[in-house]
Amino acid sequence: MIFRTLAYVFLLGSVSWADIPPAPSPGVSAPPELCLFRACMEKSGGSVMISPFSLYEVLRYMLPGAAGETEKQMAAVLPGDRKIRRDWTFLSGDFSRSLRCYSANRIFADRSVELKDAYKKAVGPDAVAQAPFRENMAEAVRQVNAWAATNTGNRIRNLLNPQRMSDRTVLVLVNAMYLRAFWDSKFEGRDTAPRTFVREDGAACQVPMMKQQVFTEGRSWPRQGGMYYEKDGVRGASLFFTGGKGAPVFMAVLPPEGRKMKQFIDGMTAEEWNGILSSLSARDAAEETRKPGGKPLEQYSRYHLRLPRFSQSSPTLSLKKALEALGMEDAFTGRADFSRMGSCAPEPLKIHGVYQKCAVRVREEGLDAFASTAGEMDPFAGAPPRGRGPEIEFNRPFLWLIYSPEDRAVLFMGTYEGPECGKKEGKP
């Protein structure tokens, strides 16, 4: 079984975890996911992982309670549809047992919090649960952690640490999600062999490299297994999951030779980003189907892929300054206005911080991805081609992501910088 784990923690309270510094000025042309990812890379010494979707789900559940400038700033951070949705294609699609997607949200509130009826209606009647933050913080945190663990197949444990939380915490919003998927075109285990991976620091390591020939057209045999991308020195490849059109897509992208990953991410424009996403997610782009009397197999477009079998995990990260850098400032201060959500009478509420933890495993059969995001809130005193095809080997640092083209949503994204040379990668 293949596992990837991701944990997002959204905290409204006082938490002592180290903040990631704000991102460099992204410019108006940078997509929100890239701005967020750039901030995460600022303090990272290696591979990075985030789940934009899980983070945005927590924001969507906060947004109906926000008003004024706080609402405007939060809405500006969210890409696309800002409303609470229960009809995401990657969640509601009939993908059979071979691809499973799940996302759930819960609001844990102390009994001292008075949530407004309109807000409770917006988030749904089953979204709110009571937790004794003021009377017994340890028990309240245990309930939050147990819910997150249950809804991620026990892959995310101890999401919150009571010793690191604000002693004024009264409300926590949590999202939990997982993706368990298998490649439409699987790798053969017997083809996996050690090959050299060159890190950005020049160190050369041996990694288990999977390989396969991937067809970029065909619906029966050959079956379209992914797409290939090449433009201005940027090269990328995608692998489709079982489930057909509407299912998410795995993508991996190599920066131009000689360019550092951070330089590549920082310099990417919205046009370049959208071009990569649309090109690599073009499932069934070719209408031809191999059939008796059709063209010879060797004339079908294909590419030859080598991709590391890898695992990653990350420490808990604070994303507060990243969101502030994107313009979501008031929600973390005494200027916060969550008057449509409610209050901890007579004090209004604010967000204290945002935290995330991730891990991922990619294997011959496919992948599993898990995420949990928690938002902690506390009260405050103040106002509210044809032929053989190209070859692509991911033998140096690359960007990867899991994208839902129908929803235009980035579910997971990260960079793989390679293992520490001389060390075997452990389980996440």
Q: DSSP labels for 190-236?
A: GG-EEEEEE-TTS-EEEEEEEEEEEESS-BSSSBP---EEEETTEEE
pLDDT of 332 above 60: yes
Q: Where in the chain is the domain with CATH 2.30.39.10?
A: 189-310+387-416
Q: Beta strand 342-343 with 114-115: parallel, antiparallel or unpaired?
A: antiparallel
pLDDT at 137: 92
For residues 31 and 387, the model is more confident at 31
Helices then strands, counting H and E runs in the chain, come out as: 9, 21
pLDDT at 244: 74
- Answer whether 384's CB lies under 8 Å from 18's CB: no
| CATH code, 6-182+311-379 | 3.30.497.10
Dump pLDDT digits (tens) for 220-240.
555 678 999 999 999 999 999
pLDDT of 211 above 90: yes
| Mean pLDDT along residues 273-299 | 62
pLDDT at 141: 92
User: Look-up: residue for tokens 């996996």?
Assistant: 192
pLDDT at 422: 57
For 88-162, list the strands marked E by DSSP: 100-109, 114-115, 128-130
Rounded to the nearest integer, the mean pLDDT of the chain is 81
pLDDT of 382 above 80: no
For residues 67 and 286, the model is more confident at 67
Question: For the chain, what is the radius of gyration of the CA atoms?
Answer: 22
Helices 68-77 and 52-62 pack at an angle, to 10 degrees, of: 160
How many CA atoms are closer than 13 Å to the CA of 424, on its beta-carbon side? Answer: 4
Helices 52-62 and 32-41 pack at an angle, to 10 degrees, of: 110
pLDDT category of residue 425 using cuts at 50, 70 and 90 = low
Buried b (16+ CB within 10 A) or exposed e, 407-424: bebbbbbbbbbbbeeeee
Q: Tokens for 334?
A: 């005494």
pLDDT at 2: 35
pLDDT at 22: 42
pLDDT category of residue 26 using cuts at 50, 70 and 90 = very low
pLDDT of 218 above 70: no
pLDDT at 268: 92
**Alpha carbon 331 to chain centroid, angstroms:** 22
- The count of residues in the chain is 428
pLDDT at 387: 53
Kindly list the strands in the beta sheet with 193-198, ordered across the sheet, starting from the edge strand earlier in the chain.
193-198, 204-215, 302-308, 391-393
The DSSP call for residue 17 is S
pLDDT at 284: 62
Q: Beta strand 391-393 with 302-308: parallel, antiparallel or unpaired?
A: parallel
Fold of 189-310+387-416: Alpha-1-antitrypsin; domain 1 (2.30.39)
Percent of the chain with pLDDT over 70: 81
pLDDT category of residue 44 using cuts at 50, 70 and 90 = low
Dump pLDDT digits (tens) for 400-420.
999 998 888 999 998 998 887
Prediction pTM value: 0.83
| Mean pLDDT along residues 161-165 | 78
Q: Where in the chain is the domain with CATH 3.30.497.10?
A: 6-182+311-379
For residues 94 and 396, the model is more confident at 396
pLDDT of 29 above 50: yes
Dump pLDDT digits (tens) for 53-99.
989 999 999 999 999 999 999 999 988 778 888 778 888 766 656 67
User: Look-up: residue for tokens 């995460």?
Assistant: 40
CA distance 47 to 53: 19
pLDDT at 199: 92
